[in-house]
Structure 1
């Protein structure tokens, strides 16, 4: 495979932190669902179904002093970020 044993071991340990897809969904986040659609793993009907059923986290807000906004995981921002996925 062209990968050393230490590199393989490190890569396998990194997979322990990858969240599993939610039950009934093809991804662990709206972004992942969109990425799976972009890659051709799910069709448009499934994409729309999953994104409309997703329980979105609250979108972040500023503290009134700066414009830094940090959204909760699973917020609608993940769908907006997925718009940046470029098709080849």
Structure 2
């Protein structure tokens, strides 16, 4: 006897889609960081055996991994944006993302030149949090709670 199951509503499906995308992105960051850590203790040949890859494939993966910033000490991410990705992926809860965003050692706001072009990177600035709202990684209530706690 078959059961009728309602298809997911659009907002449920959209939430699952975003959560899945962020989970993949965060997992890739974690994998690359783990590759870098493993390389400090293992040879590429040893890593290749564990991963069931060729040594040249491991070498290429390590080249790509070298570009991934390490997590900031005391935090589970390299940027406020990544913290928000981890929240959107369901890996950390609401209170944890708020506490970490409040405690984050934000860099100064980026500078713009006379043409309105960015002269420095926005990563690690509070703009990461603004963008996280725009990208749907966190909602307005989280943003407002972070602002309240930062200004208290």
- With the length of structure 2 as denominator, give the TM-score of the two structures: 0.47
What CA deviation, in whole Å up to 9, does each residue of 1:36-72 have, x standing for no partner?
01001110111000000011111123223x1112445
The answer as to whether partners of 1:22 and 1:28 remain within 8 angstroms in 2 is: yes
Greater shift in the superposed pair: 46-55 or 76-85: 76-85
Aligned equivalents of 1:31, 1:47: Cα separation in 2? 11
Structure of higher CA gyration radius: 2
Aligned equivalents of 1:7, 1:78: Cα separation in 2? 33
Show structure 2 runs of 5+ residues with no match. 1-52, 138-152
Show structure 1 runs of 5+ residues with no match. none
Aligned equivalents of 1:10, 1:50: Cα separation in 2? 33
- Please name the residue that 1:77 is paired with: 127
| Cα drift, residue 16 of structure 1 | 2.2
Which protein has greater RCO, CA pairs closer than 8 Å, 6+ apart?
1
Aligned equivalents of 2:112, 2:66: Cα separation in 1? 33
Label 1:23 to 1:8 Cα distance change in 2 as closer, same or farther (>3 A): same
- Aligned residue pair count: 83
Task: From 116, 120, 141, give the equivalent of 1:67.
Answer: 116
Greater helix content:
2
Aligned equivalents of 1:40, 1:28: Cα separation in 2? 17
